[in-house]
Amino acid sequence: MRMELIQPFINAADAVFSDLLHSSAKIIDLTMDEDTYRRKGVAALIAIKGDIEGRVILDLSPEVAVKVASHLAGSELTASEQLVRETVCELANMVIGNSVTLLNDQGFRFKVFPPEIHADETGLSSTVDTEAMVLGLETPCGEIYLNIAMHYLRRRRSERGSLAVLD
Amino acid sequence: MPQFAALQRKDNKSVRYLVVDDSVFARKNLIKMIQTFGGEVAGEAGDGLTAIAEFNRTKPDIVLMDITMPQMEGIEAVERIVRQHSDARIVMVSSVGYQENILAALQKGAKHFVQKPVKAEVLYEILRYVLSDDPAAAGAPTVLAGEHA
């Protein structure tokens, strides 16, 4: 997977966590994942369709989710399954939404779908066409993982324009 | 969170908000901010279809509307609400902030756009601006001096 697809996710994750938690996120892991994805905690999956297609999973432990939610609420919250799911989904929304905004600025056009909690034990495999990149981030509340699996479906607008001129 | 002077309608009543987001977590955060601004929650909705029904039921002063939602997305809900209520004041609140989305929302009748994660002081200024355009709402309350984050 090309770096131009990954960099917006790194930038967006850093910006979102800096905003929410008032501290930069540190990259602790950046690896290609060719095996079946196995979640580390509670995971929210967001599908992307358009010039780029694929899915992004945001994954964190319930304990980290409760810490993030408590930080945002400004008080200690009691852990519950619903609180954890809601927190993970909204974090996924914010990180991935900001990422696709940056990709859109690069000329890619696509649609983002609402997050779904990914509870499969086995998860989704990468394929030859859709390699997955695992991005691990250390935040003040704990480790948060992004698993990004995307591929180009169409060239971006500017490239399509250039090819038309060359034709 | 910083403290803010209350945003009020011209009749000195609290501004009533309809908060639309498929995430309960996001709604709670927005409601917390609204209450800090002295506002009142008229209703909540988790999708565009429910938002239209809630708008008709509660007639809020301001709608805070997410874009990516199940059943009916925010931009379509804006179009349908504004078609029936041309004076509706809708502020889009979304993490997906690219130009096409913003333009589409504004073209359908939204008054403003704020990108998630929402900063209270940014939302406050946008609401102040949107309300100042409203003949039924008060104009000029400001953030208390020195209390910005």
Q: For the segment A34-61, what is each residue's pLDDT rounded down to a tens digit?
A: 766 777 789 999 998 888 888 899 999 9
Residues recorded for chain A: 167
A18 Cβ under 8 Å from any chain B Cβ? no
Where in chain A are the domains?
A: 3-162
pTM of the model: 0.82
Task: Give the dihedral of Cα atoms B94, B100, B102, B104; nearest 10 deg.
Answer: -110
Which residues 10-29 in chain B show a CB within 8 A of chain A? 22-26, 28-29
Residue A63 scores a pLDDT above 90: yes
In this predicted structure, what is the pLDDT of residue B139?
41
C-beta of residue B126 within 8 angstroms of C-beta of residue B112: yes
Is the ipTM higher than 0.90? The answer is: no
Chain B environment of A83 (Cβ under 8 Å): 25
Q: Do B100 and A101 touch (CB under 8 A)?
A: no
The domain tally of chain B equals 1
Find where tokens 């938690």 sit.
A21
Q: What pLDDT is attached to residue B35?
A: 96
Let me know if residue B97 belongs to a domain.
yes
Predicted local distance difference test score (pLDDT) of residue A130: 60
Q: Encode pLDDT of A120-133 as tens digits.
A: 665 555 554 467 88
Of the candidates B93, B23, B116, B73, the one whose C-alpha atom is nearest the C-alpha of residue A115 is B23
Residue of B1, B21, B31, B68 to mutate for A, most A C-beta atoms under 10 A: B68
State the burial class of residue A107 (Cβ atoms within 10 Å of its Cβ: 0-12, 13-18, 19+).
middle
**pLDDT score of A150:** 85
Six-digit token string for A17: 């966590």
Judged by CB atoms closer than 8 Å, whether chains meet at B115 and A101 is answered as yes
Per-residue pLDDT of chain B (149 residues; tens, 9 = 90+): 678 999 999 888 999 999 999 998 899 999 999 999 999 999 999 999 999 999 999 999 999 999 989 889 999 999 999 999 999 999 999 998 888 889 999 999 999 999 999 999 999 999 999 998 655 554 444 333 333 33
Q: Is residue B144 part of a domain?
A: no
- Residue numbers in B near A82 (CB within 8 A): 24
| Domain with B85 in it | 16-113+123-131
Please choose, from the candidates B104, B60, B114, the residue with its C-alpha nearest in 3D space to the C-alpha of residue B78.
B104
pLDDT of residue A152: 75
Pairwise CA distance, residues B116 & B94, whole Å = 5
* CA-wise closest residue to A55 among A85, A99, A20: A99
The CATH code that applies to domain A3-162 is: 3.40.1550.10
Written as one string, the DSSP assignment of B52-80 is HHHHHHH--SEEEE-SS-SSS-HHHHHHH
Looking at residue A125, its pLDDT comes to 52
For residue B141, the model assigns a pLDDT of 40
Q: Which residue of A has its CA nearest to B95?
A: A97
B115:A98 CB<8 A: yes
For residue A101, the chain B residues in CB contact (below 8 A) are 95-98, 115
pLDDT digits (tens, 9 = 90+) for A71-86: 888 888 888 888 898 9
The model's pLDDT over A86-132, given as tens digits with 9 standing for 90+, comes to 999 999 999 999 998 998 888 888 888 888 887 666 555 555 446 78
Residue B11 placed within a domain? no
For position B40, which CATH number holds?
Answer: 3.40.50.2300
User: Is residue B68 situated within a structural domain?
Assistant: yes
